[in-house]
A and B are shown apart, each in its own frame.
Chain A
Amino acid sequence: MVYYLLICRSLTYAQRSAKALEHAGITAIVSRVPTILSSSGCGYGVKLSAKHISNALIVLKNAELHPLKIYVQYADGNFNEVNL
């Protein structure tokens, strides 16, 4: 399964983002960011299914919540940064 990981500036920001997505009916899980993706260490993000990414980005934009970076996580566990 393919997931998207939206990296947030803080744990609380990730929680706000997840709540906004949940409020819009999109399941989102707050999770820690793998070390290789976290330039300053110990980061948090929001993980969601690939099928929700378009709606999720609209919801977050409307809520004025801006992820720092967006990665796609493939079934083999590898990540690729997504440039929007």
Chain B
Amino acid sequence: MIYLDSAATTLKKPASVARAVAWAVNNLSSPGRGGHAAAMAAAEEAYACRCAAARLFKMRNPENVVITCSATHALNIAIKTLARRGDRVIISGYEHNSVTRPLHGIGAHVVVAGSELFEPEMALHAFERRLTDDTKLVVCNHVSNVFGYIQPIERIAEACRARGVPFIVDASQSAGVCEIDFERIGADFICMPGHKGLYGPQGTGLLLCARVPKTLLQGGTGSQSALVEMPEMLPDRAEAGTHNMPGIAGLRAGIEFVEKKRVQKIMAHEHSLVDFAAGELVKRDGVRVFVSEYGYCQSGVLSFCVDKMDCEIVGEELARRNIAVRAGLHCAPLAHKTAGTFETGTVRVSLSVFNTKGHIRAFLDALDEILKKR
């Protein structure tokens, strides 16, 4: 199978990740739950994972790296720390349901700063125009999971700071692919999965904290056990319950793989493949490709539509030919509404460091077969 669905999860992982997971299953118990060798080894591993994340995202303090189950988990903690019912919250027009649903669940007054695809200046302007004195929070994804559109989060963060408005970044599609400098961005929270661009196993995520969050879950932390309240300090406050040690060990190996490969090189590789794919797709009659004219604002994600063909059928036909892509709304109906593709959805090709030009050629050949049959 040729796997082109890394925006959902990276299927092919570095060999070191599988080795780390297997080692953890057999050797690590639970950090903070005992002073014996297996518990202390687990504590060492969890700490090493925090340190690796702190290095990659340029954070001074590894205590502020909270390990979560997913980006959704991290976003729920962040959003529920900063927003309450009725609060005015501004989001971009490209947010995922992992942002919109928690905000809806809280009953926040959500204002969408909609702007055209691949127009970062307009995106910034859309936020600036909506930032009012009564705005309680801004949430923005770094990279759209549908279109690979890289949003100008550093400048949006700056606008938020100027107004004193807290800012959450959803880095689900950018962690491991785009440079993320936690201190420079100055967001209150940055949320990300461990199983996409960081090449860790599913069931892992990270919440990078510039402030102490509210607790989403309460329970055992292996610390201050005599108290009925959750500890105030990070990371314990946000990590109730037994840690996913195999996941954490795998995530650490994944982050170290990314560090070694270097984020800029990964981005350049994925971007060159997207350029190639987009350049070929636009030559096909009846294929509409969503591509940035300016390469700097698109990552390794590419959406397209085929005239008179349901995107789900295209995805299914590609799957029959052993090409794995994702079709539909990609859990991001807002992004499709903003881009005008809500009615049709799109077919999404999303890449990882393990994809090659040969994979793109095979995908194009398979698509050509499908187009011929139309």
Contacts and interface: CB of A to CB of B under 8 A. Distances in A.
Interface of A: 9-13, 15-16, 30-32, 38-44
Contact of B235 (A12, A31, A43): A12
Contacts of B44: 15
Given A30-B40, A31-B35, A12 B224 contact: no
Given A9-B233, A41-B225, A42-B32, 5 more contacts: A11-B223, A13-B63, A16-B63, A32-B35, A44-B32
Contact of A10 (B34, B226, B227, B231): B231
Interface of B: 31-32, 34-35, 40, 43-44, 47, 50, 61-63, 222-227, 231, 233-236
Contact of A40 (B32, B62, B222, B225): B225
Question: Interface majority SS on B: helix, strand, loop or mixed?
Answer: loop
A33 B95 CA distance: 46
Nearest to A11: B32
Given A16-B63, A32-B35, A42-B32, A11 B43 contact: yes
Nearest to B237: A10
A10 B63 contact: yes
A30 B50 CA distance: 17
A41 B227 contact: yes
Contacts of B50: 12
A13 B64 CA distance: 11
**Smallest CB-CB A-B distances: 10 pairs:** A41-B226, A41-B225, A42-B225, A32-B35, A40-B224, A15-B47, A40-B226, A12-B63, A11-B32, A10-B233
A32 B32 CA distance: 9
Nearest to B226: A41
A5 to B, nearest CB: 13
B62 A12 contact: yes
Contact of A43 (B40, B61, B224): B224
A14 B34 CA distance: 15
Contact of B222 (A11, A16, A39): A11
A26 to B, nearest CB: 18
Contacts of A16: 61-63
B291 to A, nearest CB: 44
Contact of A44 (B61, B63, B223, B234): B223
Contacts of B35: 31-32
A30 B31 CA distance: 12
Contacts of B233: 9-10, 13
Given A31-B35, A42-B32, A10 B223 contact: yes
16 contacts: A10-B63, A10-B233, A10-B235, A11-B43, A11-B223, A12-B47, A12-B50, A12-B62, A12-B234, A13-B63, A13-B233, A15-B43, A40-B225, A40-B226, A41-B225, A44-B32
Given A10-B63, A16-B62, A32-B35, A42 B224 contact: yes
Nearest to B50: A12
Nearest to B239: A12
Contacts of B223: 10-11, 42-44
A76 to B, nearest CB: 21
Contact of B31 (A11, A41, A43): A11
Q: Most A CB atoms within 10 A — which of B34, B44, B224, B225? A: B224
A15 B225 CA distance: 19
Given A12-B50, A41-B225, A41-B226, A30 B231 contact: no
A40 B63 contact: no
Nearest to A18: B47
Contacts of A13: 63, 233
A40 B222 CA distance: 11
A23 to B, nearest CB: 12
Nearest to A35: B226
Contacts of A32: 34-35
Contacts of A30: 40, 43
Contacts of A43: 223-224
A38 B223 CA distance: 10
A9 to B, nearest CB: 5
A39 B223 CA distance: 11
A79 B134 CA distance: 54
